[in-house]
């Protein structure tokens, strides 16, 4: 099995071939906050005998590079270009987490011919009216508290912004190595709350899936990132599967073995 790294639009894309050979289906992994491609180490090790594993660090999330924000259009276009570069002859399977779900779903909705199916982790219809209507006042306050703190860290930048971001990551029990975490990763929250980089309001397409979905989520969290109505809609269709795990937000790290096995069963079925 071979490994290689390519550069696309200034971002590194890691390609790790499968034991199944060059014809293996491509599994493209897209992380969220405050992570990098490294968050998928356990998945690459597990899925590599079955799939060609491709992963990337989202533009702007590599804190070694100058701080820069990106628009939704730029991010979905980047994902499209990655897919066409790494799998020009066949659609890919997406494996998404957190903001990776937001941007990956939007890329899928804009370019459905490029994606065969999706494994999404812990973020579903979090921008839908149904989700927002279901939030209690306490939950809204909790969401605003941590997200606006990250907006402030993005705006501050520098060493102070980095320290605030790492402190929030610790408070949220993020498993990523702090040396790879910095304020540069926070621009999606600034985009969401202030409308910077084109904003998200009015830009997100409704999450009407054109392909099968395996949705995994952690049960042990103060609040969910999906509505119950959305879950029930998925469960009503045989092509989709929903599974909760007894863990927090980073299901693929906190319940790696159980998640990997459940996702593989669904993919092979």
The pLDDT tens digits for 200-226 are: 999 999 999 999 999 999 999 999 999
b/e code 152-173 from CB counts within 10 Å (16+ = b): bbbebeeeebbebbbebbeeee
Q: Are 200 and 72 in contact (CB under 8 A)?
A: yes
Its pTM surpasses 0.85: yes
Q: Which domains does the chain have, with CATH numbers?
A: 3-135+204-268 (3.40.50.1820)
**Exposure of 220 by Cβ count < 10 A (0-12 exposed, 13-18 middle, 19+ buried)?**
exposed
Question: pLDDT digit of tens for each residue in the chain (269 aa)?
Answer: 578 898 888 788 999 987 777 678 999 999 999 999 999 999 999 999 999 999 999 999 999 999 999 999 999 999 999 999 999 999 999 999 999 999 999 999 999 999 999 999 999 999 999 999 999 999 999 999 999 999 999 999 999 999 999 999 999 999 999 999 999 999 999 999 999 999 999 999 999 999 999 999 999 999 999 999 999 999 999 999 999 999 999 999 999 999 999 999 999 99
Residues 64-90: tens digit of each pLDDT: 999 999 999 999 999 999 999 999 999
pLDDT reported for residue 23: 79
């Amino acid at each position: 099995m071979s490994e290689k790294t390519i550069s696309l639009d200034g971002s590194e894309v890691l390609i790790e071939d499968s034991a199944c050979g060059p014809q293996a289906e491509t599994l493209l992994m897209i992380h969220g906050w405050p992570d990098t491609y490294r968050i998928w180490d356990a998945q690459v090790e597990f899925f590599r005998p079955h799939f060609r594993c491709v992963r990337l660090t989202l533009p702007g999330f590599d804190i070694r590079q100058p701080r820069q924000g990106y628009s939704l259009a730029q991010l979905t276009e980047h994902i499209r270009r990655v897919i066409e570069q790494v799998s020009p002859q066949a659609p890919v399977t997406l494996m998404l987490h957190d903001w990776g779900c937001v941007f990956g779903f939007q890329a899928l909705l804009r370019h459905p011919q490029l994606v065969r199916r999706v494994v999404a982790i812990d973020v579903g219809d979090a921008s839908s009216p149904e989700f927002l209507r279901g939030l209690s006042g306490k939950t809204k306050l909790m969401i605003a508290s941590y997200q606006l703190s990250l907006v402030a860290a993005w705006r501050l930048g520098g060493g102070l912004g980095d320290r605030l971001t790492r402190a929030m990551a610790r408070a949220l029990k993020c498993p990523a190595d702090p040396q790879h975490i910095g304020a540069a990763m926070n621009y999606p929250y600034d985009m969401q709350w202030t409308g910077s980089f084109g904003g998200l309001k009015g830009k997100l397409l409704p999450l009407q899936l054109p392909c099968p979905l395996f949705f995994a989520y952690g049960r042990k969290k103060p609040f969910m990132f999906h509505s119950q109505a959305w879950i029930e809609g998925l469960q009503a269709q045989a092509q989709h599967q929903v599974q909760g795990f007894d863990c927090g937000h980073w299901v693929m790290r906190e319940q790696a073995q159980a998640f990997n096995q459940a996702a593989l069963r669904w993919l092979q079925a």
